[in-house]
Amino acid sequence: MSRASRRLPVVITLFVGLMLSIMPLPGGIQPFRPDWLALLLIFWAMQLPRSWSVGTAWIIGVVLDVSYGTLLGQHAVALCVIVFITVRFHLLMRVFPLSQLTATVFALIALYQFILFWINGVASVTAPSVTYWGPIITGTIIWPFLYMFLSGIRFRAPSGA
């Protein structure tokens, strides 16, 4: 297998995650959009920490900043922090039962949103609190299903992805 074909499932999921992140939603459910890229980066950093790590998180974060039109580096820094923590504890997280892993992902997404909140506060950017709490709640609800789906992709993909 070529190196590109082994990386294809990850690249496709990150691309789909980017599309889900920038897709327009109706105003009432917009604040509850899950942090798709944060969830995907947590999963891939936990499963393949040597291939998909902090550098990937930085690139994806800058792309997300440009897509959203936010402060350049805001999402990149937040994603790097949560991916670093995931890579640091990936061996421990991989043996967690799904309920404990979901609680851990809740904490990681909350940290991600706190970093975004803090950076916005320093830059005097105001936003309603639902824009910070909504993605935490929906991301935690979606995580078990996303984890099972991505695990199926991971084990069907060619070895060494």
pLDDT in tens, the chain (161 residues): 566 667 888 999 999 999 999 999 998 899 999 999 999 999 999 999 998 889 999 999 999 999 999 999 999 999 999 999 999 999 999 999 999 999 999 999 999 999 999 999 999 998 888 989 999 999 999 999 999 999 988 776 665 55
One-letter-per-residue 3-state SS of the chain: CCHHHHHHHHHHHHHHHHHHHHCCCCCCCHHHCCCHHHHHHHHHHHHCCCCCCHHHHHHHHHHHHHHHCCCCCHHHHHHHHHHHHHHHCHHHHHCCCHHHHHHHHHHHHHHHHHHHHHHHHHCCCCCCCHHHHHHHHHHHHHHHHHHHHHHHHHHHCCCCC
Whether the predicted model's global pTM rises above the 0.75 cut: yes
